[in-house]
C-alpha cells in the first residue's frame, strides 16, 4: 500500500451562495491560504478576517460564518507509477459536514457525517502529474434548519435543528460553550494506492480469559482487487510471548484462534498494571508482502453487575473478577476548534486524571468520537472509557435516510474502537431519555422519537461487531420508565 498525503496548505474562500455575507466581510470571497486539517474559523483567524471568538463578546461577531458556503482547493502531483495500483482511493478521515468533493472539475461524492471516515474510488478521476481537488462545504446552519422545516418539531434542548445533522452537537451552542458551528477538513486526507488486495478492520476478540490461559480470536478483512490466492500471517507479541500463525483467506476474511498461556491481565488505574500485546497482520501473495496492519490490544474480563437489592439494581463494573470503584470525569472536547488540540494537550489532561487517582473517563455524547491518541493514552494509563454514541439531550429523527446514517456511523465507530481495552461500555446517548421523560410526564423512553436507535439499532451493531463489552441504553437511567437494561453479551468465564 502507498499513500500520498494531501494535508498542509490549501486555499479557501466564501461562495456567498445565499447572499448573506456581511458587506464588510466581502473580502473573504477571495482566495486565502488555509490549513488542513483545520476549520474555517481557524483559517479566518489566521487571515485576520475574524476576531478571537473566545475574547469578550466576539462570539456574537462571528455568527455569520456558519451561514456561508465555503470552498477549499489544492493542487497536487500524482506520480505516473502511483496510478499503476489496482485501486486508488481518496480517504478523508473527517469532513465537517455537508461536503461535495470534486477532482479535476468532476464531482466525485458528497458527504453528510463529520464523525466517520469517507473512502472514494478515484482512479478514473486522477491523471498523471498535476491534479486539483475542491471540497465545497454547505452551511450546517441552513441545512439543518431546512431539514427541520420538513418534519415535525422534536423535543430538543438548545437549538432544535441540530439533531438532524451528524455533527458535534455542542457546535450549535451548549451550556458550557459558545455557538461556533465549524466547517472544514478537520482530520487527515490522503490518497491510498493498493495492488491485488488490502487489509481492513483488524480485530482481536478475547473469547476466554483465565489466569492460566487466554483464548483470543484474531480476524482481519481482506478487500480483493483481483482474483487470486491470498494468505494472512498474524503475529502476537507480548512481554514474554511470540505466537505466529498463517492461514489462507476464505470469503474475504482471515481468522485465527490463539491460546496465550499465563496472560498478563490489564487493570484499571489503582488496581494493577496495563500490559499490552501487539498483533501484526501481514497480507501475502505468493510470498510477497502486499499490506500489513498492526494493533495494540490487552486481555481483560469485564462484566457490568446488575444485582437486585433494597434500592433497586446495582451498577458495578467488574474487571477480571474484581469489583471496581469507579472514580472519574465527564470528557468534553478540549477546544471548539478540534484540530487545535495537540497530542501534548491530550497527554497532559489524561495524566492529570490518572494522577488524581481517577480510573474512568466518560466520553460525552454531545461531542466527538475522540482521536486515536485519546484511546491509546487511556489504554496505557488504565483509564476506563465509558463511550457514548454522539446523541445528546433531545429526540432524534427516525426517517429512513437518518437511520441509514446511524447504522453506517455505528458500524464504523464500533470497528474503530473495539480493540481498545480501556473502552468498557457502549452507551446509546447522553440524557436523551431523561430529558424526554422529564418534559413528558407519564411517558416512557420508548415513546420518544429516536427510541429505535437506542433500543434496537445500536445494541445490535455492538453485539454483531464487538460482543466483548456491555451496552447501556442511555445516561441517565430513567427510573420508572421503560427498562434501560444492560445487555450482557460480554459475560465471559471466570477463572
Report which secondary-structure segment, H or E, holds 50: none
- Among 134, 431, 439, 485, the active-site one is 431
DSSP annotation of 394: B
Residue 373 near residue 349 (C-beta atoms within 8 A): no
What number is the average pLDDT over the span 78-93?
97
Supply the pLDDT for residue 201.
Answer: 98
Q: For residue range 340-372, what is the model confidence (pLDDT) as tens digits?
A: 999 999 999 999 999 999 999 999 999 999 999
Best CA proximity match to 378, nearest among 402, 408, 347, 399? 347
Supply the pLDDT for residue 17.
Answer: 80
Q: Is 431 a catalytic residue?
A: yes
What number is the average pLDDT over the span 149-159?
92
Residue 470 near residue 425 (C-beta atoms within 8 A): yes
DSSP codes joined into one string, 198-267: EEEEEEEEEEEE-SSEEEEEEEEEEEESSS---EEEEEEE-SS-EEEEEEE-BTTEEEEEEEEESPPBP-
Report which secondary-structure segment, H or E, holds 139: none
With a cut of 50, say whether residue 486 has pLDDT above it. Answer: no
Report which secondary-structure segment, H or E, holds 387: strand 384-388
With a cut of 60, say whether residue 170 has pLDDT above it. Answer: yes
Q: Which three cell numbers stand for residue 61?
A: 461577531
Torsion-angle region of 252 (φ positive above 0: left; ψ -120 to 50: alpha; else: beta): left
What number is the average pLDDT over the span 70-89?
97
Locate the domains of the chain by residue range.
Answer: 2-193, 197-297, 302-472
Residue 219 near residue 256 (C-beta atoms within 8 A): yes
What number is the average pLDDT over the span 414-421?
98
With a cut of 80, say whether residue 210 has pLDDT above it. Answer: no
| CATH H-level, domain 302-472: superfamily | Glycosidases (3.20.20.80)
- Topology agreement, domain 197-297 and domain 302-472: no
3-state SS, one letter per residue, for 412-475: HHHHHHCCCCCEEEEECCECHHHHHHHHCCCCCHHHCCCHHHHHHHHHHHHHHHCCCCCEECCE
CATH fold for domain 2-193: Jelly Rolls (2.60.120)
What number is the average pLDDT over the span 149-170?
95
* Bond prior to 399 in cis (omega within 30° of 0): no
| CATH H-level, domain 197-297: superfamily | Immunoglobulins (2.60.40.10)
With a cut of 80, say whether residue 480 has pLDDT above it. Answer: no
Distance CA 400, CA 339 (A): 32
Backbone angles phi, psi at 132, to 5 degrees: -130, 130
What number is the average pLDDT over the span 148-175?
95
- 219 vs 209, residue with greater confidence: 219
The residue with cell 486481555 is 299
pTM score: 0.94
Supply the angle between the helices 458-465 and 400-417 in degrees, to the nearest 10.
30
What number is the average pLDDT over the span 58-64?
96
Amino acid at each position: 500500500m502507498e499513500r500520498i498525503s494531501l494535508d498542509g496548505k490549501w486555499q479557501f474562500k466564501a461562495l456567498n451562495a445565499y447572499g448573506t455575507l456581511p458587506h464588510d466581510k466581502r473580502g473573504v470571497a477571495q482566495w486565502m491560504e488555509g490549513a488542513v486539517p483545520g476549520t474555517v474559523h481557524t483559517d479566518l483567524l489566521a487571515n485576520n478576517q475574524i476576531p478571537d471568538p473566545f475574547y469578550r463578546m466576539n462570539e456574537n461577531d462571528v455568527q455569520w460564518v456558519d451561514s456561508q458556503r465555503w470552498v477549499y482547493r489544492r493542487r497536487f502531483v500524482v506520480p505516473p507509477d502511483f496510478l499503476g495500483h489496482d485501486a486508488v482511493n481518496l480517504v478523508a478521515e473527517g469532513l465537517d459536514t455537508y461536503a461535495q468533493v470534486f477532482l479535476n472539475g468532476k464531482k466525485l461524492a458528497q458527504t453528510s457525517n463529520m464523525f466517520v471516515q469517507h473512502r472514494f474510488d478515484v482512479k478514473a478521476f486522477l491523471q498523471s502529474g498535476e491534479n486539483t481537488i475542491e471540497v465545497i462545504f454547505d452551511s450546517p446552519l441552513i441545512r439543518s434548519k431546512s431539514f427541520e422545516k420538513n418534519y415535525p418539531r422534536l423535543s430538543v434542548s438548545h437549538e432544535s435543528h441540530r439533531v438532524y445533522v451528524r455533527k458535534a452537537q455542542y457546535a450549535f451552542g451548549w451550556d458550557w460553550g459558545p455557538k461556533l458551528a465549524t466547517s472544514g477538513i478537520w482530520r487527515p486526507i490522503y490518497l491510498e494506492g493498493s495492488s491485488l488486495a488490502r487489509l481492513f478492520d483488524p480485530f482481536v476478540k478475547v473469547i476466554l480469559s483465565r489466569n492460566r490461559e487466554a483464548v483470543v480470536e484474531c480476524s482481519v478483512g481482506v478487500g480483493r482487487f483481483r482474483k487470486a490466492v491470498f494468505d494472512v500471517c498474524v503475529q502476537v507479541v507480548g512481554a514474554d510471548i511470540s505466537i505466529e500463525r498463517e492461514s489462507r483467506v476464505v470469503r474475504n476474511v482471515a481468522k485465527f484462534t490463539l491460546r496465550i498461556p499465563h496472560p498478563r491481565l490489564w487493570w484499571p488505574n489503582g488496581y494493577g498494571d496495563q500490559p499490552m500485546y501487539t498483533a501484526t497482520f501481514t497480507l501475502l501473495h505468493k510470498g510477497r508482502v502486499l499490506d500489513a496492519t498492526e494493533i495494540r490490544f490487552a486481555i481483560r474480563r469485564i462484566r457490568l453487575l446488575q444485582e437486585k437489592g433494597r434500592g433497586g439494581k446495582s451498577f458495578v463494573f467488574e474487571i477480571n473478577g474484581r469489583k471496581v470503584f469507579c472514580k472519574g470525569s465527564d470528557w468534553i472536547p478540549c477546544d471548539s476548534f478540534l484540530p487545535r488540540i495537540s497530542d501534548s494537550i491530550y497527554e497532559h489532561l489524561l495524566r492529570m486524571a490518572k494522577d488524581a487517582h481517577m480510573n474512568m473517563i466518560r466520553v460525552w455524547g454531545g461531542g466527538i468520537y475522540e482521536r486515536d491518541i485519546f484511546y491509546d493514552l487511556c489504554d496505557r494509563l488504565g483509564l476506563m472509557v465509558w463511550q457514548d454514541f454522539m446523541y445528546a439531550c433531545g429526540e432524534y429523527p427516525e426517517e429512513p435516510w437518518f437511520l441509514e446514517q446511524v447504522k453506517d456511523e455505528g458500524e464504523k465507530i464500533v470497528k474503530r474502537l473495539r480493540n481498545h481495552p480501556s473502552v468498557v461500555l457502549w452507551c446509546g446517548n447522553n440524557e436523551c431519555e431523561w430529558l424526554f421523560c422529564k418534559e413528558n410526564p407519564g411517558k416512557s423512553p420508548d415513546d420518544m422519537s429516536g427510541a429505535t436507535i437506542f433500543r434496537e439499532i445500536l445494541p445490535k451493531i455492538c453485539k454483531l461487531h464487538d460482543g466483548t463489552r456491555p451496552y447501556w441504553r442511555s445516561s441517565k437511567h430513567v427510573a420508572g420508565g421503560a427498562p434501560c437494561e444492560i445487555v450482557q453479551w460480554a459475560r465471559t468465564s471466570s477463572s
